[in-house]
């Protein structure tokens, strides 16, 4: 059916090997024959068979990207950045979203072991599911390089990590709210690291964190909405809320507004991530920027280097991106 090297060889009256060499621009083959072979290949509309090539080259020019879901602006942006980067080096991305299911991650790991990818990026929210660090290490030992994005728990020599400083992000958010004069702060979301950053800001200013002001909930808009409802129902409402991410913050705000609690007049709400919608929401969202595209670029860059067999400098094995407070309209002075 499809045109193969053999077809070209026959037509050109040379051996299959010569054709292969010619099409790969080897300097071992005569200039004129090379041209002739290339012409014939063009004429027959030849495309090399990626499956056969993958087998012998032991490479598929494909990487796996493990994220919880694409329907999530943060991960969508990450995916976009990574895809753009690797594509510039002729790699492709297999979209591996786990929907926060631990077993799905497992299935992907096995798929990776089968040699369907040359490497993988794991960008799951670590807190949320059972870890498979041991299996992922095995993957690396079988020579399938892995990079972690915003995930930790393994020796960086084996698995480089690209992070944002989310601890600091939460700290910045809380610190900023306190500087506005707010004293009763709430936190929404489930992330140990962010919660710790939040706590440390309170501590620095000698504020105590009441248990009732910590809301564990699903990290999307729906989860935020639930939190917002709960807050609106309280008599002694917190003055300000720091949310795990912008989506939650939007959910919180939407619920508060629905319950006639004004943002920012009654309560200030701050997110983390700085997704595009933060700027278009109404009120526009005060948040802490996480340079997710840059993180994606970096992760992709490092992964491709590993795949190419390059050794990484220690600095490249643990890369942490700074975060930045972005003040908009969802927060105001106490």
Contact residues for DNA, defined by CB under 7 A: 1-6, 13-18, 20-21, 23-24, 27-31, 33, 46, 48-49, 51-53, 55-58
- Shortest distance, position 145 Cβ to a copy of itself, whole Å: 14
Cα-based distances in Å from 6 to 26, 264, 316: 18, 71, 45
Q: Under the criterion CB under 8 A, does residue 135 sit at the interface with a copy of itself?
A: no
15 makes contact, choosing from a copy of itself, DNA, none, with CB < 5 to 8 Å by partner type, with: DNA
Which residues contact residue 252 at a Cβ distance below 8 angstroms, ignoring those fewer than 6 apart?
A: 188, 224, 225, 227, 228, 231, 241, 243, 269
Give the nearer residue to a copy of itself in terms of CB position, either 1 or 155. 1
Closest CB to DNA among 17 and 334?
Answer: 17
Return the number of the residue (19 or 201) whose C-beta is nearest a copy of itself. Answer: 19
Determine how β-strand 324-326 pairs with β-strand 287-289. Answer: antiparallel
State the nearest-atom distance from the C-beta of 275 to a copy of itself, in Å.
Answer: 9
- Does residue 69 belong to the site contacting a copy of itself (CB under 8 A)? yes
Q: Report the b/e string of 50-86 with b at 16+ CB within 10 A.
A: eeeebeeeeebbbbbbbbbeeebbbbbbbbebbbebb
Computed from CA positions of residues 250, 252, 255, 260, in that sequence, does the dihedral angle turn out positive or negative?
negative
Residues in contact with a copy of itself, counted by CB under 8 A, come to a total of 54
Q: Which does 28 bind (CB under 5 to 8 A by kind): DNA, a copy of itself, none?
A: DNA
* 50 near a copy of itself (CB under 8 A): yes
Interaction partner, residue 291 (DNA, a copy of itself, none; CB < 5-8 Å by kind)? none
From candidates 33, 62, 200, 294, binder to a copy of itself by CB under 8 A:
62
Regarding 92 and contact with a copy of itself (CB under 8 A), the answer is yes
Q: What are the DSSP calls for 233-251, one per residue?
A: H-SS--SEEEESSHHHHHH
Q: Smallest distance, Å, CB 48 to DNA? A: 4
Q: Of all helices (H) and strands (E), which one includes residue 162? A: strand 161-164
Binders of a copy of itself among residues 251 to 270 (CB under 8 A) are 251, 253-254, 257
Burial 254-286 (b: 16+ CB within 10 A, else e): bbbeeeebebbeebbbbbbbbbeebeebebebb
The strand order across the sheet containing 185-188 reads 214-215, 185-188, 240-243, 268-270
Written as one string, the DSSP assignment of 26-79 is -TTS-HHHHHHHHHHHHHTT----HHHHHHHHT--SEEEEEES-SSSHHHHHHH
Residue 40 interaction partner, one of a copy of itself, DNA, none, beta carbon < 5-8 Å per kind: none
Q: Which residues between 160 and 219 bind a copy of itself (CB under 8 A)?
A: none
Q: Which does 31 bind (CB under 5 to 8 A by kind): DNA, a copy of itself, none?
A: DNA
Q: Which residues bind a copy of itself (CB under 8 A)?
A: 1-2, 47-52, 54-55, 58, 60, 62, 65, 69-73, 76-77, 79-80, 83-84, 92-97, 99, 110-111, 113-116, 142-143, 221, 225, 250-251, 253-254, 257, 276-277, 280-284
């Amino acid at each position: 059916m499809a045109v193969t090297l053999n077809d070209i060889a026959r037509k050109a009256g040379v051996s299959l090997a010569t054709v292969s060499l010619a099409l790969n621009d080897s300097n071992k083959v005569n200039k004129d024959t090379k041209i002739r072979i290339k012409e014939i290949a063009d004429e027959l509309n030849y495309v090399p068979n990626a499956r056969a090539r993958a087998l012998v080259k032991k490479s598929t020019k494909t990487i796996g990207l493990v994220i919880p879901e694409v329907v999530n602006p943060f991960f969508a942006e990450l995916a976009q950045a990574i895809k753009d980067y690797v594509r510039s080096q002729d790699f492709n991305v297999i979209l591996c979203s786990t929907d926060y299911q631990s077993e799905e991650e497992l299935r992907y790991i096995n798929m990776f072991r089968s040699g369907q990818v040359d490497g993988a990026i794991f960008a799951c929210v670590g807190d949320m599911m059972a870890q498979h660090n041991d299996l992922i290490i095995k993957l690396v030992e079988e020579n399938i390089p892995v990079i972690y994005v915003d995930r930790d728990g393994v020796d960086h020599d084996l698995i480089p990590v690209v992070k944002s400083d989310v601890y600091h992000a939460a700290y910045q958010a809380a610190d900023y709210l306190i500087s506005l004069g707010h004293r009763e702060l709430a936190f929404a979301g489930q992330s140990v690291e962010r919660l710790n950053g939040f706590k440390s800001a309170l501590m620095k200013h000698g504020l105590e964190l009441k248990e009732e002001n910590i809301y564990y909930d699903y990290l999307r808009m729906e989860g935020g909405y639930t939190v917002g409802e709960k807050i609106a129902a309280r008599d002694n409402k917190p003055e300000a809320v720091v949310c795990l991410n912008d989506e939650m913050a939007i959910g919180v705000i939407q619920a508060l507004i629905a319950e006639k609690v004004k943002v920012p007049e009654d309560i200030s709400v701050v997110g983390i991530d700085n997704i595009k919608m933060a700027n278009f929401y109404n009120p526009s969202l005060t948040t802490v920027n996480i340079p997710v595209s840059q993180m994606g670029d970096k992760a992709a860059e490092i992964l491709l280097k590993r795949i190419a067999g390059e050794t990484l400098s220690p600095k490249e094995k643990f890369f942490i991106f700074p975060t930045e407070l972005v003040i908009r309209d969802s927060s105001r002075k106490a």
